Amino acid sequence: MKIVVCVKHVPDAAADRTFTEDGSTDRASVDSLLSELDEYAIEQALRIAEADGADTEISYLTVGPDDARDALRKALAMGGDSAIHVSDEGIEGSDAFGTSLVLARAIERHGFDLVLCGMASTDGAMGVVPAMLAERLGVPAVTHVEGLTVDDGTVSGRREGDGATVSVQGTLPAVVSVTDRSGDARYPSFKGIMAAKRKPVETLDLADLGVDPAQVGRSGARSAVDTTARRPPRTKGEIVVDDGAGGAGLAAFLTARKFI
């Protein structure tokens, strides 16, 4: 089985993230790392490969600038076989439509039985790229699941949807996204980190994929940011140390604010 795991290199959520003047995410000012939510997808791929034996091949795919390679190295250190890095100046400023188009073309070129994604990125956090990929590839989208099983040409999982928990099943080939409840991700071992250095990473650009530059990047974006503004910092209110009357004091505060 051929598994492609889509991974994203994102600004560290613990750092102070900002925008550049044109309203896109400022990637230069903070450290970036492999999106934590993608580690769950990598973990599932590795578990499937472990259960399946030698027949499974895992490739990682990322779209992004040069340093996005770091995300691929981290993924390869956790396990897997090879990686694809799509990098092209024309991609900068892509929205989910542009990104999903590039990903879909790269996945088609490589071939796949299963595409695995995290439930959302930790920066843009729209959580729509897996659904868009399935739409573009014309295959089932088994999204937002935990309890993932791949068996006999089908993929199944449990999904907490908008109003219900549902058990879902699709046939392979398929796109799957897993939540942070799908199973803890492993840490790369020292051996894994060393081995990752020798694993092949292929670099592709838009021309290699036959993607029209007008469809991606800023020119392909289908929405525009009008304004970005830092929320005014919350003014820190009164912090009292409980001297035996903290609960009553809290009740007085809530009464003053008309919650009681």
Ligand X SMILES: Cc1cc2nc3c(=O)[nH]c(=O)nc-3n(C[C@H](O)[C@H](O)[C@H](O)COP(=O)(O)OP(=O)(O)OC[C@H]3O[C@@H](n4cnc5c(N)ncnc54)[C@H](O)[C@@H]3O)c2cc1C
Question: Where do we find the tokens 């290699």?
Answer: 208
Strand partners, 142: 176
Inter-CA distances, 243 with 79, 148, 230, 246, 256, Å? 54, 50, 37, 6, 21
Tokens describing residue 106: 């790269």
> Could you tell which of other proteins, ligand X, none binds residue 237, using a CB distance below 5 to 8 A set by kind?
other proteins
Tokens describing residue 160: 């907490």
Q: Residue 85 belongs to what H/E stretch?
A: strand 82-86
| Comparison of 36 and 57: residue with beta carbon closer to ligand X | 36
Query: Nearest approach, Cβ of 14 to other proteins (angstroms)?
Result: 6
Query: Nearest approach, Cβ of 227 to other proteins (angstroms)?
Result: 5
Query: Nearest approach, Cβ of 19 to other proteins (angstroms)?
Result: 7
| Comparison of 66 and 162: residue with beta carbon closer to other proteins | 162
Query: Nearest approach, Cβ of 180 to ligand X (angstroms)?
Result: 5
Instruction: Please answer whether residues 97 and 12 qualify as being in contact, where contact means their C-beta atoms are separated by less than 8 angstroms.
Output: no
Residues lying near ligand X in the complex (CB under 6 A) are found at 36-37, 180
> Could you tell which of other proteins, ligand X, none binds residue 227, using a CB distance below 5 to 8 A set by kind?
other proteins
Q: Are strands 141-151 and 154-160 parallel, antiparallel or unpaired?
A: antiparallel
| Comparison of 12 and 57: residue with beta carbon closer to ligand X | 12
| Comparison of 37 and 148: residue with beta carbon closer to ligand X | 37
Instruction: Please answer whether residues 161 and 131 qualify as being in contact, where contact means their C-beta atoms are separated by less than 8 angstroms.
Output: no
Query: Nearest approach, Cβ of 123 to ligand X (angstroms)?
Result: 12
| Comparison of 37 and 115: residue with beta carbon closer to ligand X | 37
> Could you tell which of other proteins, ligand X, none binds residue 20, using a CB distance below 5 to 8 A set by kind?
none
| Comparison of 18 and 181: residue with beta carbon closer to ligand X | 181
DSSP letters for 90-153: GGTT--HHHHHHHHHHHHHHH--SEEEEESS-SSS----HHHHHHHHHTS-EEEEEEEEEEETT
> Could you tell which of other proteins, ligand X, none binds residue 28, using a CB distance below 5 to 8 A set by kind?
none
Please report, as a single letter, which amino acid is at residue 214. Answer: A
Query: Nearest approach, Cβ of 36 to ligand X (angstroms)?
Result: 4
> Could you tell which of other proteins, ligand X, none binds residue 2, using a CB distance below 5 to 8 A set by kind?
none
Q: What is the DSSP letter of 5?
A: E
Residue nearest to ligand X according to CB distances in the complex: 36
> Could you tell which of other proteins, ligand X, none binds residue 222, using a CB distance below 5 to 8 A set by kind?
other proteins
